[in-house]
Chain A
Amino acid sequence: MSVVNLPLKEEPVDGRALPLDAAEAQMFRRPSEWRIFWEAFSRDRLAVGAAVLIGLVCLASLLAPVLSPYDPTVGDNSQRLAPIGTPGHLLGLDGQGRDILSRLVWGGQVSLIIALLPVTVASVISVVLGLVAGFFGGKVDMIIMRTLDVFFAFPAVLLAVAIAGVLGPGMLNVMLSITIVLIPYISRVAYMATVTVKSELFVDQARVSGARPSQILFHHILPNTLSPVIVYGSTLVGILIVLGAGLSFLGLGITPPRPDWGIMCSDGRNFLSVAPHVSAVPGIMLILVAMSFNIVGDGLRDALDPKLRK
């Protein structure tokens, strides 16, 4: 609807804005932010497909007690290392005669949680750190960011392995280690977003109109900080699916006999020449799920970027 087609109105000399009539009000109403985001995201078919896959995997893992055909910890020694397609065992059996499909489904629980929980916890902590450092600036900023800089100096994988190793085996320790390693990275993203938004004109505008600092913080800065963190976080989950499995592979993660995809790869190491599927299958699962999170992260970024939206 072209503006030029509206009937021209006489402007009052003192420049006071006229109240809009119904037609003009209709023209200026915008759909909500959620709608815009959803429409943009759903246009990216690859991202939607990846999200669906993640959803299915999560669902399957959640329903593991129901879906899993066999007990993942009990082995049938007569059929050890049975190949893929063995009747009754779609993906074969591992070195201890345990059904691989069942272990895969149950393993999803651990592998997904090792990735999702630390990212979530680290994100919450990081957003707080980043907001505080970015918003208050000065000494607070320096102390927080310099401390984080020290952690940045470590190669991330090395630090995760070292902390997990020092703390000892166990799922909680692995997650703690990962969380610690993640905080500097996510904090930096939150910090940069806060600093950028803070310097934007509309924050000055809010200040000038008398908004309280807490209002500015929650109403303006927080929402603009959350989106980059969410995008970054979803990419991180993909990376962590792989890293978490790596830690388990090294024996630093959960304790057997609970399965997860990393331990499954490690279990198959001794049988590589005769039964490579024992290690190969969980790896393929890892690749698929990590890729999906990566793709979803890209999709989120494109959908949330105001410049890319039509």
Chain B
Amino acid sequence: MLKFLVYRVATIVPVLFGVSVVVFLMMKLIPGDPAEAILGPAATTEKIEMVRKSLGLDQPFYVQYVRWLWKVVQGDFGTSIAVNVPVAQLVWPKFWNTVLLTAGSLVICIVIGLGVGIVSGTRQYSWFDRISMSLTLIVANTPAFWLGLILMVVLALYLGWFPATGMYSMRASQKTFGDLIHHMVLPAITTASVSAAIIARLVRSSFLDVIRKHYITALRAKGLSERDIILRHGMKNALPPIINIVGLQVGYLMGGALFTEVVFSWPGIGLQIYSSIVARDLPVVQAAVLVTTFVFVLVNLGTDVVVAALDPRIRRA
């Protein structure tokens, strides 16, 4: 197990490097010269050259990359063009807000996905199964931003049960946990919806697969109760592919949270990316993508490790 762990950790190092290269190059894709963008159309050639030099843009690419990477590793992501504060200051608090939202969404995802999936999987062809499979098909194909708008219309604007935007009440003097949850419900449901539907379908098919296996009959022949069989043996075998997908869904959740944050004005990193793109404030975009991707890579590493812990056949590879 330890060998596997070391091996997996070793493989993500080059990947993380590659990610940083891609993010760096992405910024180089921007049409137009950054110095010109800063100075405006009226700048003279000398001024442009000066700014370019100060930004280090006259150096060859690899030098720029190493310089940039060195700063990033120290936590310095540069300065925001739009708001003239260090990018890190802008990005980190928003990042944690997104983590909160993602965590809430993940909980909903797992509970509903697992619950619906297991019940459907162990009761194939029942009315529950048919209805849930139709519903999940529809939800899996529903745009998150649209669902968010609909939920907002019905549950917030029309019925008034939940707030329509934001993370906390503007009027509240103190930020209570209950207030946070109240604001999180609609965005979390929106973000979780597609993933929950996908997970439910997956759990179901994974369970159907496992229930048919011969060793399940052999376990019944041993005298184990259905409940024991499902909980101890069914789960352990059905779980690995599910966990894999849940891990991937975290990536989707972090990306898809973007749409939810825009719709509900949730002050997370997705909304930050969006407004920075609109404002052409690209250092912020760069930093946000980098941070989010790093976390995504680490989460995937985590799920790989958990899966290997559960399924001994994987460890050998």
Contacts and interface: CB of A to CB of B under 8 A. Distances in A.
Q: Do A and B come into direct contact in the complex, CB within 8 Å?
A: yes
Interface of A: 146-147, 149-151, 153-159, 161-163, 165-168, 238, 242, 245-246, 249-252, 262, 265, 268-269, 272-273, 276, 279-280, 283, 286-287, 290-291, 294-295
B256 interface: yes
A272 B297 contact: no
B30 A166 contact: yes
Nearest to B277: A165
A250 B263 CA distance: 10
A283 B146 contact: yes
B258 A161 contact: yes
B296 A155 contact: yes
A272 B152 contact: yes
Contact of A294 (B26, B140, B152, B293): B140
Contacts of B259: 246, 249-250
Contacts of B230: none
A287 to B, nearest CB: 5
A35 to B, nearest CB: 30
A165 B143 CA distance: 20
B24 interface: no
Given A167-B31, A283-B149, 16 more contacts: A151-B22, A158-B258, A158-B289, A159-B289, A162-B26, A166-B277, A167-B29, A167-B30, A238-B141, A245-B143, A250-B277, A265-B149, A268-B149, A280-B150, A283-B142, A287-B141
A104 to B, nearest CB: 14
15 contacts: A150-B21, A153-B18, A155-B292, A161-B255, A162-B26, A162-B289, A165-B285, A166-B26, A166-B30, A238-B141, A242-B141, A249-B145, A251-B278, A262-B143, A279-B150
Given A246-B144, A250-B274, A156 B255 contact: yes
Contacts of A157: 252, 255-256, 258
Contacts of B57: none
Interface of B: 14-16, 18-19, 21-22, 26-27, 29-31, 137-138, 140-146, 149-150, 152-153, 157-158, 251-252, 254-256, 258-259, 262-263, 273-274, 277-278, 282, 285, 289, 292-293, 296-297, 300
A150 B22 contact: yes
Contacts of A159: 255, 289
B19 to A, nearest CB: 5
B18 A161 contact: no
A300 B77 CA distance: 47
A252 B149 contact: no
A276 B153 contact: yes
Contacts of B282: 166
Contact of A283 (B143, B254, B274, B296): B143
A159 B251 CA distance: 11
B146 A265 contact: yes
Contact of A291 (B14, B19, B137): B137
B153 A272 contact: yes
B129 to A, nearest CB: 16
A158 B153 contact: no
CB-CB nearest 7 A-B residue pairs: A157-B255, A150-B18, A165-B277, A283-B146, A155-B251, A155-B255, A290-B141
Given A155-B292, A165-B277, A273 B26 contact: no
Contacts of A245: 143
A163 to B, nearest CB: 7
A95 B121 CA distance: 46
Contacts of B277: 161-162, 165-166, 250, 252
A147 B255 contact: no
A294 B292 contact: no
Contacts of A154: 19, 22, 289, 293, 296
A268 B149 CA distance: 9
A160 to B, nearest CB: 8
Given A167-B29, A168-B31, A279-B149, A162 B273 contact: yes
Given A246-B259, A283-B146, A163 B297 contact: no
B36 to A, nearest CB: 15
A291 B138 contact: yes
Nearest to B256: A157
Contacts of A149: 15, 18
A153 B27 contact: no
Contacts of A283: 142-143, 146, 149-150
B29 to A, nearest CB: 5
B138 A286 contact: no
- Which of B142, B146, B158, B258 neighbours the largest number of chain A CB atoms within 10 Å of its CB? B146
A166 B15 CA distance: 22
B39 to A, nearest CB: 20
A153 B296 contact: yes
A153 B285 contact: no
Nearest to A149: B15
A235 to B, nearest CB: 10
Contacts of A166: 26-27, 29-30, 277, 282, 285
B157 A272 contact: yes
A153 B295 CA distance: 10
A149 B259 CA distance: 26
A28 B189 CA distance: 57
B174 to A, nearest CB: 29
